[in-house]
Amino acid sequence: MSDSTTSACTIFIAKEAAEFERRVAATPETVKKFIGLGARLLVQKGAGETANIADDDYAAAGAEIVTQAVGVKAADIIVGVQGVDPAKMKSVQKGAWLVAGLNPVGDRKRVDAYAALGVEALAMEFMPRITRAQSMDILSSQSNLSGYKAVLEAGAHYGRAFPMMMTAAGTVSAARCFVMGVGVAGLQAIATARRLGAQVSATDVRPETREQIESLGAKAVFAEGLEADGEGGYAAELTGEQKAVQAELVSSHIAKQDIVITTALIPGRPAPLLVSDSQLATMRAGSVIVDLAAEAGGNVEGAVAGEVVEKHGVKIIGARNMPSSMAADSSALFSRNIFNFLSAFWDKETGKPVLDEEIGDAIRLTKDGAVVHPRLAQT
């Protein structure tokens, strides 16, 4: 970021260029709030159109509508959902910040390119899971919406109803829905499926989720010895023996399920395989599985991100950027995460954010031309 203390901190909101990305990282509401802090806001032309926000709405909130070239060059802070392609950032100021979801583990080359540009790349998905950072956590805000949408997608592909219905023409039985992985997305999937009237059961490898499942009115399905608590509230990978126990648990339960929602992730590792092809074959024809982990390698054998694959009469929906399919709401929450983050560190004297060590060091990938994050230094 520039050392100037006299001119306002310039924040540039980039238009997303990635395929299937409809979100935007600022709304007129957050633009107004940033301006309230004393910042100058530049918004790329058309940045909000896929999230139903017109350039005029940003302009009415006080932003200047600019081209990407103008925004990148002028910015002290570039803000995005997935970040700007380094190839489009040649004219960026040395030391400028890039704040976005940067997929640092999956796309290391891009991190190296940001380092070479001399920018300070801050990866929002590395936000630590501490109480004061909850309102800055893009993984939580977006996963919550994914869990909700996964159930709606399942319902749209399921040839039957979710709730039990007693009609003059006879009774329709309730759908049985099994949620595998009870983090933020899984909890919302349980709540949504319950609201729609399904009979819901769920499993996880973190023991504390049992109480959370039951408090939502669903049945907890756990096996003895299947515990894999990792660091920072995340799960760890199961041992070979534990995987066999889990496979047995899944085999005994899944044949009776109509809808399965899988959400299991392990940070920095491919998603664990939870449902094999032979287990799929035991399910009733017409059943539906939504694999929210499809982009991370998939929890279900044969799942393809962005596609609906049919196997043994079971539809497997491979999720691809689920939050993007609700771009208006997901953008609003993402934008607030970004504002909560930058405003929490806003230094009134210099008129720009100054990070502390705990959060700064957790999310900073690059600085002064080098990759500085310990998780990336090892790779």
Q: Which of 2, 57, 135, 234 is catalytic?
A: 234
Choose, by CB under 6 A, the member of 129, 219, 311, 320 that binds ligand NAD. Answer: 129
Distance (Å, whole) CA 277 – CA 288: 14
Residue 283 per-residue DSSP state: S
Chain residue whose CB lies nearest ligand NAD: 183
Residue 296 per-residue DSSP state: G
**Shortest separation between residue 181's beta carbon and ligand NAD, angstroms:** 3
Asked if residue 133 binds ligand NAD (CB under 6 A), the reply is yes
Asked if residue 13 binds ligand NAD (CB under 6 A), the reply is no
| Contact positions with ligand NAD (CB under 6 A) in 318-337 | none
What is the helix, strand, coil percentage profile of the chain, to 5? 40, 20, 45
User: In terms of C-beta density within 10 A (0-12 exposed, 13-18 middle, 19 or more buried), how is residue 378 classed?
Assistant: exposed
Smaller CB separation from ligand NAD, 74 or 185: 185
Asked if residue 205 binds ligand NAD (CB under 6 A), the reply is yes
Asked if residue 182 binds ligand NAD (CB under 6 A), the reply is yes
Handedness of CA 177, 182, 185, 188 (dihedral sign): positive
Asked if residue 291 binds ligand NAD (CB under 6 A), the reply is no
104 contacts 376 by C-beta, under 8 angstroms: yes
- Does an H or E element contain 11, and which? strand 10-13
Smaller CB separation from ligand NAD, 120 or 137: 137
Confirm whether 137 is a catalytic residue. yes
Point out which span in 34-42, 68-76, 89-97, 174-182 binds ligand NAD (CB under 6 A).
174-182
Choose, by CB under 6 A, the member of 28, 48, 104, 181 that binds ligand NAD. Answer: 181
- Report the relative pairing of strands 165-167 and 170-172 from DSSP bridges: antiparallel
Smaller CB separation from ligand NAD, 205 or 326: 205
Alpha helices in the chain (DSSP H): 28-37, 55-60, 68-74, 108-117, 138-157, 184-195, 209-215, 240-254, 277-280, 327-344, 357-363, 374-377
Tally of CB atoms within 10 A around 19 = 8
Asked if residue 138 binds ligand NAD (CB under 6 A), the reply is no
Confirm whether 132 is a catalytic residue. no
Confirm whether 135 is a catalytic residue. no
Residues lying near ligand NAD in the complex (CB under 6 A): 129-130, 133-134, 137, 139-140, 143, 180-186, 203-206, 233-235, 238, 263-266, 272, 274
Where in the sequence numbering do the catalytic residues fall?
129, 134, 137, 140, 234
